[in-house]
Amino acid sequence: MIDLSSARLSRRGFLILGTVSASALILPPFLTAEATAANRYQPFSSRLSLTINGRQRQLDVDTRTTLLDTLRENLGLTGTKKGCDHGQCGACTVIVDDQRINSCLTLAVMHEGASITTIEGLGTPDALHPLQAAFIKHDGYQCGYCTPGQICSAVAVMKEIKAGVPSHASSSLIDAPTFEPREIRERISGNICRCGAYPNIIDAITEVAEASA
Protein backbone atom coordinates (compact mmCIF):
# COMPACT_ATOMS: atom_id res chain seq x y z
CA MET A 1 0.00 0.00 0.00
CA ILE A 2 1.38 3.44 -0.90
CA ASP A 3 1.24 6.04 1.85
CA LEU A 4 -0.55 8.93 0.16
CA SER A 5 -0.46 10.97 3.31
CA SER A 6 3.27 11.48 2.91
CA ALA A 7 3.92 15.07 1.91
CA ARG A 8 7.08 14.21 -0.03
CA LEU A 9 6.83 11.45 -2.57
CA SER A 10 10.04 9.67 -3.51
CA ARG A 11 10.87 9.24 -7.22
CA ARG A 12 10.21 5.47 -6.86
CA GLY A 13 6.92 6.04 -5.10
CA PHE A 14 5.91 8.55 -7.74
CA LEU A 15 6.55 6.03 -10.52
CA ILE A 16 4.63 3.26 -8.73
CA LEU A 17 1.71 5.55 -8.07
CA GLY A 18 1.70 6.67 -11.70
CA THR A 19 1.71 3.11 -12.98
CA VAL A 20 -1.10 2.01 -10.69
CA SER A 21 -3.19 5.03 -11.59
CA ALA A 22 -2.63 4.58 -15.33
CA SER A 23 -3.58 0.90 -15.14
CA ALA A 24 -6.76 1.76 -13.32
CA LEU A 25 -7.64 4.24 -16.05
CA ILE A 26 -6.66 2.14 -19.05
CA LEU A 27 -7.73 -1.39 -18.09
CA PRO A 28 -11.47 -1.99 -17.98
CA PRO A 29 -12.63 -3.60 -14.77
CA PHE A 30 -13.37 -6.99 -16.40
CA LEU A 31 -9.68 -7.39 -17.23
CA THR A 32 -8.62 -8.14 -13.72
CA ALA A 33 -6.44 -11.24 -13.53
CA GLU A 34 -9.26 -13.28 -12.12
CA ALA A 35 -11.81 -12.21 -14.72
CA THR A 36 -9.34 -12.71 -17.55
CA ALA A 37 -8.65 -16.28 -16.48
CA ALA A 38 -12.37 -16.96 -16.22
CA ASN A 39 -13.07 -15.45 -19.64
CA ARG A 40 -10.30 -17.46 -21.26
CA TYR A 41 -12.11 -20.72 -20.55
CA GLN A 42 -15.65 -19.46 -21.00
CA PRO A 43 -17.33 -20.94 -24.10
CA PHE A 44 -19.29 -18.36 -26.05
CA SER A 45 -22.35 -19.64 -27.81
CA SER A 46 -24.12 -17.94 -30.67
CA ARG A 47 -27.49 -18.55 -32.33
CA LEU A 48 -27.00 -19.27 -36.02
CA SER A 49 -29.46 -19.50 -38.92
CA LEU A 50 -28.37 -21.47 -41.95
CA THR A 51 -30.02 -23.07 -44.94
CA ILE A 52 -28.47 -26.52 -45.18
CA ASN A 53 -29.32 -28.53 -48.29
CA GLY A 54 -32.44 -26.44 -48.79
CA ARG A 55 -33.63 -26.80 -45.20
CA GLN A 56 -33.71 -23.91 -42.75
CA ARG A 57 -31.77 -24.74 -39.61
CA GLN A 58 -31.25 -22.83 -36.39
CA LEU A 59 -28.63 -23.91 -33.92
CA ASP A 60 -26.54 -22.68 -31.04
CA VAL A 61 -22.85 -23.10 -31.72
CA ASP A 62 -19.69 -22.37 -29.83
CA THR A 63 -18.28 -19.40 -31.69
CA ARG A 64 -14.94 -21.20 -32.03
CA THR A 65 -16.45 -24.12 -33.97
CA THR A 66 -15.50 -24.58 -37.61
CA LEU A 67 -18.16 -25.03 -40.24
CA LEU A 68 -16.84 -28.56 -40.78
CA ASP A 69 -17.32 -29.54 -37.13
CA THR A 70 -20.72 -27.85 -37.05
CA LEU A 71 -21.86 -29.92 -40.03
CA ARG A 72 -20.46 -33.16 -38.69
CA GLU A 73 -20.90 -32.82 -34.92
CA ASN A 74 -23.90 -30.51 -34.52
CA LEU A 75 -25.95 -31.53 -37.55
CA GLY A 76 -24.82 -35.14 -38.09
CA LEU A 77 -23.92 -34.49 -41.73
CA THR A 78 -20.90 -36.77 -41.77
CA GLY A 79 -20.73 -37.00 -45.55
CA THR A 80 -18.38 -34.02 -45.40
CA LYS A 81 -15.03 -35.48 -44.42
CA LYS A 82 -12.23 -34.28 -42.17
CA GLY A 83 -8.91 -35.12 -43.76
CA CYS A 84 -6.12 -32.75 -42.76
CA ASP A 85 -8.25 -30.20 -40.83
CA HIS A 86 -6.02 -27.36 -42.03
CA GLY A 87 -6.87 -26.58 -45.63
CA GLN A 88 -4.58 -28.89 -47.52
CA CYS A 89 -6.63 -31.83 -48.79
CA GLY A 90 -10.08 -30.58 -49.86
CA ALA A 91 -11.92 -33.51 -48.23
CA CYS A 92 -14.09 -31.01 -46.34
CA THR A 93 -15.21 -29.05 -49.43
CA VAL A 94 -18.80 -27.77 -49.32
CA ILE A 95 -20.64 -25.20 -51.40
CA VAL A 96 -21.53 -21.97 -49.63
CA ASP A 97 -23.68 -19.57 -51.63
CA ASP A 98 -22.46 -21.15 -54.89
CA GLN A 99 -18.79 -21.02 -53.91
CA ARG A 100 -16.76 -24.04 -52.87
CA ILE A 101 -14.83 -23.64 -49.66
CA ASN A 102 -12.78 -25.74 -47.29
CA SER A 103 -15.15 -25.97 -44.36
CA CYS A 104 -12.29 -26.75 -41.96
CA LEU A 105 -10.85 -23.27 -42.52
CA THR A 106 -13.87 -21.21 -41.61
CA LEU A 107 -15.92 -20.65 -38.49
CA ALA A 108 -19.61 -21.50 -38.63
CA VAL A 109 -20.61 -18.13 -37.16
CA MET A 110 -19.10 -16.40 -40.19
CA HIS A 111 -21.89 -17.84 -42.34
CA GLU A 112 -25.02 -16.50 -40.69
CA GLY A 113 -27.85 -16.64 -43.25
CA ALA A 114 -25.81 -18.57 -45.83
CA SER A 115 -27.04 -21.37 -48.03
CA ILE A 116 -24.83 -24.43 -47.72
CA THR A 117 -24.83 -27.53 -49.87
CA THR A 118 -23.10 -30.70 -48.72
CA ILE A 119 -22.84 -34.06 -50.45
CA GLU A 120 -26.09 -35.08 -48.71
CA GLY A 121 -27.87 -32.29 -50.61
CA LEU A 122 -26.72 -33.30 -54.08
CA GLY A 123 -28.48 -36.60 -54.57
CA THR A 124 -30.05 -39.59 -52.89
CA PRO A 125 -29.32 -43.29 -53.29
CA ASP A 126 -32.40 -43.54 -55.49
CA ALA A 127 -31.76 -40.36 -57.45
CA LEU A 128 -28.04 -39.78 -57.77
CA HIS A 129 -26.61 -36.47 -58.90
CA PRO A 130 -25.11 -36.91 -62.41
CA LEU A 131 -21.63 -36.52 -60.93
CA GLN A 132 -22.29 -39.21 -58.34
CA ALA A 133 -23.48 -41.53 -61.11
CA ALA A 134 -20.44 -40.67 -63.24
CA PHE A 135 -18.04 -41.37 -60.37
CA ILE A 136 -19.57 -44.85 -60.08
CA LYS A 137 -19.50 -45.40 -63.84
CA HIS A 138 -15.86 -44.32 -64.18
CA ASP A 139 -14.68 -45.92 -60.96
CA GLY A 140 -13.70 -42.48 -59.66
CA TYR A 141 -12.87 -43.61 -56.15
CA GLN A 142 -11.23 -46.38 -54.17
CA CYS A 143 -11.60 -45.78 -50.41
CA GLY A 144 -14.07 -42.97 -51.14
CA TYR A 145 -12.84 -40.65 -48.40
CA CYS A 146 -12.06 -37.79 -50.76
CA THR A 147 -15.13 -38.38 -52.93
CA PRO A 148 -17.70 -36.06 -51.26
CA GLY A 149 -15.21 -33.19 -51.46
CA GLN A 150 -14.30 -34.06 -55.05
CA ILE A 151 -17.96 -34.08 -56.09
CA CYS A 152 -18.88 -30.85 -54.25
CA SER A 153 -15.83 -29.22 -55.80
CA ALA A 154 -16.76 -30.51 -59.26
CA VAL A 155 -20.30 -29.13 -58.99
CA ALA A 156 -18.86 -25.69 -58.26
CA VAL A 157 -16.15 -26.06 -60.93
CA MET A 158 -18.79 -26.63 -63.61
CA LYS A 159 -20.57 -23.44 -62.54
CA GLU A 160 -17.29 -21.52 -62.46
CA ILE A 161 -16.40 -22.58 -65.99
CA LYS A 162 -19.86 -21.77 -67.33
CA ALA A 163 -19.67 -18.35 -65.68
CA GLY A 164 -16.23 -17.74 -67.25
CA VAL A 165 -14.48 -17.43 -63.90
CA PRO A 166 -10.72 -17.77 -64.55
CA SER A 167 -8.85 -20.28 -62.46
CA HIS A 168 -6.11 -18.85 -60.27
CA ALA A 169 -3.13 -20.64 -61.76
CA SER A 170 -4.05 -21.01 -65.40
CA SER A 171 -5.77 -17.74 -66.22
CA SER A 172 -2.68 -16.50 -68.02
CA LEU A 173 -2.33 -19.76 -69.96
CA ILE A 174 -5.88 -20.42 -70.99
CA ASP A 175 -7.84 -17.64 -72.64
CA ALA A 176 -11.38 -18.76 -71.91
CA PRO A 177 -12.34 -21.43 -69.41
CA THR A 178 -13.29 -24.69 -71.07
CA PHE A 179 -14.39 -28.16 -70.05
CA GLU A 180 -11.12 -29.64 -71.31
CA PRO A 181 -9.57 -32.18 -68.95
CA ARG A 182 -6.50 -29.96 -68.37
CA GLU A 183 -8.75 -27.13 -67.20
CA ILE A 184 -10.71 -29.42 -64.91
CA ARG A 185 -7.47 -30.96 -63.60
CA GLU A 186 -6.15 -27.55 -62.67
CA ARG A 187 -9.38 -26.41 -61.01
CA ILE A 188 -9.84 -29.59 -59.01
CA SER A 189 -6.19 -29.71 -57.95
CA GLY A 190 -7.02 -28.62 -54.39
CA ASN A 191 -8.82 -31.91 -53.85
CA ILE A 192 -6.26 -34.55 -52.99
CA CYS A 193 -6.89 -38.26 -53.47
CA ARG A 194 -4.52 -40.43 -51.50
CA CYS A 195 -5.70 -43.46 -53.48
CA GLY A 196 -4.60 -41.80 -56.71
CA ALA A 197 -7.88 -42.19 -58.56
CA TYR A 198 -7.21 -38.96 -60.47
CA PRO A 199 -7.57 -40.18 -64.10
CA ASN A 200 -10.97 -41.70 -63.35
CA ILE A 201 -12.08 -38.65 -61.37
CA ILE A 202 -11.22 -36.38 -64.30
CA ASP A 203 -12.98 -38.73 -66.74
CA ALA A 204 -16.14 -38.61 -64.62
CA ILE A 205 -16.18 -34.85 -64.25
CA THR A 206 -15.31 -34.22 -67.91
CA GLU A 207 -18.13 -36.44 -69.10
CA VAL A 208 -20.75 -34.65 -66.99
CA ALA A 209 -19.33 -31.23 -67.78
CA GLU A 210 -19.37 -31.84 -71.54
CA ALA A 211 -22.89 -33.24 -71.39
CA SER A 212 -24.08 -30.10 -69.60
CA ALA A 213 -22.29 -27.65 -71.93
Residues at the interface with ligand FES (CB under 6 A) = 82-85, 87-92, 102, 104, 141-147, 193-195, 197
How far, in Å, CA of 171 to CA of 182, rounded? 12
Nearer to ligand FES, 122 or 152 (CB): 152
Q: Which is nearer to ligand FES, 102 or 118 (CB)?
A: 102
CB of 106 to ligand FES, least distance (A): 10
Q: Report the relative pairing of strands 115-117 and 45-52 from DSSP bridges.
A: parallel
- Distance in angstroms (rounded) separating the CA atoms of residues 53 and 124: 12
Candidates 66, 65, 64, 91; CA nearest to 80 is 91
- Least distance from C-beta 124 to ligand FES, angstroms? 21
Output the smallest distance, CB 152 to ligand FES, in A.
12
Q: Pick the closer one to ligand FES by CB: 109 or 177.
A: 109
Minimum Å gap between C-beta 197 and ligand FES is 5
Minimum CB distance to ligand FES smaller for 20 or for 84: 84
Task: Give the whole-angstrom CA distance, residue 143 versus residue 152.
Answer: 17
Mapping DSSP to helix (H, G, I), strand (E, B) and coil, where does residue 194 land?
Answer: coil
Measured CA to CA, the distance from residue 151 to residue 155 in angstroms comes to 6
Choice between 65 and 177, CB closer to ligand FES: 65
Question: Cβ of residue 108: shortest distance to ligand FES, in angstroms?
Answer: 14
How far is residue 165 from each of residues 38, 45, 148, 161, 171, measured CA to CA in Å?
48, 37, 23, 6, 9
